[in-house]
C-alpha cells in the first residue's frame, strides 16, 4: 500500500537522550516504556543506511529492528508498512 518513502524507523535497546539527535543525523527520538527507543528519520540511500547502522553498532547499541516506511496516501504523514 502506498509508495515507499526514504524514511526509516529503527528500534534500539535503551533510552537515548535528546542530545543524541544531532549526532544521529537529525533523527527523531522517541522513548517507549520498556526501555526501547524508536528512531525515525530520512536515509538518502543504502550507503547512508549502512553508515548509520555502523554508527549505532560501534556504540554498542543493540539494534532490535529497522524498516522502511511508506507514504500515507494523503501526503506527508508516514505510517508503518
Partner 1 sequence: METEINLLHTKFYLPKAREQLVHRSRLTHLLEEGLQGRMVLLSAPAGYGKTSLLADWTQEFHHPTAWLTLDENDNDTARFMEYFFHSFFNRGYIQLQQLLTEKAALFSGNLRQNLDILLNCILSSSENIIVVLDDFHHIHSPVINESINYMVENLPANAHFVISTRADPVVNLPNWRVRGYLTEIRRADLCFTLKESTEFFQSALGDIFTRKNVRALTNKTEGWIAGMQLAASAIKSLDDTYSIDLFIESFKGTNRFILDYLLDEALKNQSEETRNFLLFTSLLEHFSASLCNHVLERNDSQQMLDFLERNNLFIVPLDNERTWYRYHTLFADLLQSQLEKLDKERKRLIHQSAANWFETNHYYNEAIEHNLMAENMDAAERLIQLNAASVLNHSQFTVFSNWLNRLPREKLYQNPTLCTYYALTLLLRGNSYHEIKQILESMQEFADAGFYGPAFIRSLLAIIQGNPQEALQHLDLIKSNPPQEDEFLSGYLELIQALTLPVNINQTIENLRKTYLRSNIAGNLVIAITSRSYLGDLYNFMGKLTEAQKNYQEALDLSTIDKNAYLPIGSNVLLGLGEIAYKRNQLDEADRFLSAGLEIKENIAISHFWGLCTSKARVCIAQGRIQQALAYMQQAQELAIQFDTTEFDDFVVSCRIAQLHLLMGNLDAAEERVNALSMHDIEKSRDLASFSIIYTPIQYLYPSTLACCAIHQGKLSESIEILSKLYHESVEKNLGDFVLQFSVLLAVAHEKNNAREEALGYLHKALDLAYPEGQVQIFLEQKENILTLLYEAAHRNIHPEFTGHLLSLFPQMNTQEETDKFIIHDGEIIEPLSDREIEILALISQGFSNQQIAVQFHLSLSTVKVHTYNIYRKLQVHSRLQAVSKATLLKILPPTKK
Q: Which is nearer to partner 1, 31 or 68 (CB)?
A: 31
Per CB under 8 A, the list member of 5, 7, 59, 71 interacting with partner 1 is: 59
User: For residues 9 and 69, what is the distance between their CA atoms, to the nearest angstrom?
Assistant: 7
14 touches partner 1 by CB under 8 A = yes
Q: HSE of 66 in the Cβ direction (CA atoms, 13 Å)?
A: 18
Q: Which three cell numbers stand for residue 2?
A: 502506498
DSSP 75: E
35 touches partner 1 by CB under 8 A = yes
Number of residues in contact with partner 1 under rule CB under 8 A: 21
Closest CB 7 distance from partner 1, rounded Å: 22
Amino acid at each position: 500500500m502506498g509508495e515507499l518513502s526514504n524514511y526509516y524507523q529503527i528500534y534500539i535497546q535503551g533510552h537515548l537522550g535528546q542530545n543524541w539527535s544531532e549526532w544521529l543525523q537529525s533523527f527523531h527520538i522517541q522513548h517507549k516504556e520498556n526501555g526501547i527507543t524508536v528512531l525515525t528519520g530520512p536515509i538518502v540511500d543504502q550507503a547512508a543506511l549502512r553508515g548509520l547502522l555502523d554508527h549505532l553498532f560501534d556504540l554498542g547499541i543493540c539494534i532490535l529492528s529497522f524498516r522502511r516506511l511508506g507514504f500515507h496516501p494523503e501526503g506527508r504523514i508516514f505510517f508503518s508498512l
